[in-house]
Amino acid sequence: GESVGLHLPTLSVQEGDNSIINCAYSNSASDYFIWYKQESGKGPQFIIDIRSNMDKRQGQRVTVLLNKTVKHLSLQIAATQPGDSAVYFCAENARGGGADGLTFGKGTHLIIQP
C-alpha cells in the first residue's frame, strides 16, 4: 500500500556540522507533510511542516525541502548540537484539514558526535 518511508535508518554527524535527513513518500495525493523529533521514551515533538504548494520552508536552524516531482522530502538541520540527537520522523496527511491521522515514515536515528 501507499506509505511514507526513509532512506537511512541511522545518521551520524559531527557536532556543528549540518545534517540532512531524507524521506520518500508514495502517495501523490499527500498535501501536507510534517517532521517530528522523538527523544527516547517521549512523544513526537513538532519541528516543521510544509504544504504541497510550497517547495521550501525555513525555521530556526531547520529547513524542509519538498520535491513533488520525485516525491521526496528532506529535513536540514544546521549547526547540529548534542540536543539534536533523536529519532526523526516524517509524516504525511493525505487529505488535509486536520481531521485525519498521520502516516509516519520509519524514522532516522540522528547521532551527534562530539
Residues of this chain that bind another protein (CB under 8 A): 32, 34, 36, 41-46, 49, 89, 93, 96-107
Cβ closest to another protein, residue 70 vs residue 99: 99
Number of C-beta neighbours around residue 30 at 10 A: 22
CA dist 97 → 9, 47, 61 (Å): 30, 19, 27
Cβ closest to another protein, residue 29 vs residue 79: 29
Cβ closest to another protein, residue 19 vs residue 103: 103
If we measure between CA atoms, which residue out of 86, 114, 90, 104 comes closest to residue 11?
A: 86
In the complex, minimum distance from the CB of residue 4 to another protein, in angstroms, rounded to a whole number: 9
